[in-house]
Structure 1
């Protein structure tokens, strides 16, 4: 088995008395499309933020390409490029699409503006939005805003290739989209996995069955802060795990406690 790009060992995280992650073990391998699923409130978004270095676990260890990470993302240098794609796109409303996608380069590189604009346009073409750099987020549909956030996540810095994204973490990338817009995003995620200039490794938090089926290869099922089941995406059709069966059937009957 290849060495994991990201490995969580016995990671726990609580907010007050609410234990969100309880000794979670999880790995992401190079070239993998991992789905992280489970009922609401079971720590799925929290685990992405822990992996991205935005939250520090209360206990446990996080390894990036075999090296122990200490502290948060700003405390680490040169270990692994991780980009988090937020559920609400997290675009700056007062900036244009060009300024949003190229934000880090405009702020933290010495590249001339015309070079950054060309790099931005290249990424916008990859997500199917050429010629939109002059627009503002308010002028875009929900699906277009999602695609702009993907373009920003895969932006590369020619001045420092070591910081280019090696892993994308998607938090509910199709939330709030209609079925057609969701399909566009799901296909785009897969396309970016295999295109030069995209990102070949990713993990997706999602509730949406179409996203699970179309955009993941392996699944980790979280429930009550623990990994309760994991397997290939096709295994969900044959598993005898009652919680996984209930989740995919949408039944109110089963081990998963339904919040009224």
Structure 2
């Protein structure tokens, strides 16, 4: 049976009177590719930030490799590394690609600049961008910036193996990309799951059907603060669940409430 790396038990989160997560239970297993889907505004990005330790839940428990997390990631280190790829890449515009990817090592390690640069180049090669280390984010296309953010997320510190991410969290990695660029990113997500130095377990938030079908093994459907459905990605095409049928057909008529 697959090992449970991250467990959310009864996790709730509200912003003012808006309850976005309502006693959610979720388990992420080692080696799986999990997609969290659902209408806009249903807490998908919030649940990623909670998993990453960037946002605290109002109630509920979070376990990372069996160890309960108390507080945020800045309060105590998790037993495994968790990396996050933000929707808009979130690169520092004033820093070069090399400085962006190696930022934490430049700031918080004792490695030499030459060694860090070697590690940066290796990660860039893994995402197919070996020759852009001296460029600035403004000099890159949207797809290239996404790939740079992937390289940063899988950056590791050889002096501290606990910093190496074992789980990657992707927040809408193909949003705003054309179909060809989206395919490149989807292929890269799968590639990084398999290669040495990549990350074998990931959670993806996405709306795009091609991304769901090409990058996920298991799918969780989040709506009205709760997990309403979960199954394999293949079950999307055969399920009779009315929420799933409406979501993937784009029909405005059905149990999903249209908010905009």
TM-score range, shorter chain: over 0.9
Does residue 214 (structure 1) correspond to residue 214 (structure 2)? The answer is yes
1:167 is aligned to: 167
Contact between 1:3 and 1:66, CA under 8 Å: does it hold in 2? no
Give CA deviations for 1:53-75 in whole Å, capped at 9, x if unaligned: 00100010000001111000011
Supply the distance in 2 between the matched residues of 1:183 and 1:77 (Cα, whole angstroms): 35
1:86 is aligned to: 86
Supply the distance in 2 between the matched residues of 1:35 and 1:15 (Cα, whole angstroms): 24
Runs of 4+ in 1 over 2 A off after TM superposition: none
Contact between 1:12 and 1:21, CA under 8 Å: does it hold in 2? yes
Structure 2 spans left out of the alignment, 5+ residues:
none
2:205 is aligned to: 205
1:240 is aligned to: 240
Supply the distance in 1 between the matched residues of 2:77 and 2:174 (Cα, whole angstroms): 31
Does residue 63 (structure 1) correspond to residue 63 (structure 2)? The answer is yes
Structure 1 spans left out of the alignment, 5+ residues:
none
- The count of aligned residue pairs is 260
Tell me the SS of whatever aligns to 1:74: coil
Supply the distance in 2 between the matched residues of 1:101 and 1:130 (Cα, whole angstroms): 13
Supply the distance in 2 between the matched residues of 1:116 and 1:22 (Cα, whole angstroms): 43
**What TM-score do the two structures reach when normalised by structure 1?**
0.99
Give CA deviations for 1:9-55 in whole Å, capped at 9, x if unaligned: 01000000000000000011000000000000000000000000001
Supply the distance in 1 between the matched residues of 2:21 and 2:78 (Cα, whole angstroms): 27
Kindly report the root-mean-square deviation, in angstroms, between the aligned alpha carbons of the 2 structures: 0.7
Does residue 187 (structure 1) correspond to residue 198 (structure 2)? The answer is no
Contact between 1:78 and 1:163, CA under 8 Å: does it hold in 2? no
- The CA deviation at 1:78 is 4.5
- The CA deviation at 1:107 is 0.5
Contact between 2:7 and 2:63, CA under 8 Å: does it hold in 1? yes
Contact between 1:153 and 1:168, CA under 8 Å: does it hold in 2? yes
Q: 1:102-141, aligned counterparts within 5 Å?
A: 102-141=102-141
1:23 is aligned to: 23
Supply the distance in 2 between the matched residues of 1:212 and 1:167 (Cα, whole angstroms): 18
Tell me the SS of whatever aligns to 1:90: coil
Tell me the SS of whatever aligns to 2:177: coil
**What TM-score do the two structures reach when normalised by structure 2?**
0.99
Supply the distance in 2 between the matched residues of 1:200 and 1:138 (Cα, whole angstroms): 30
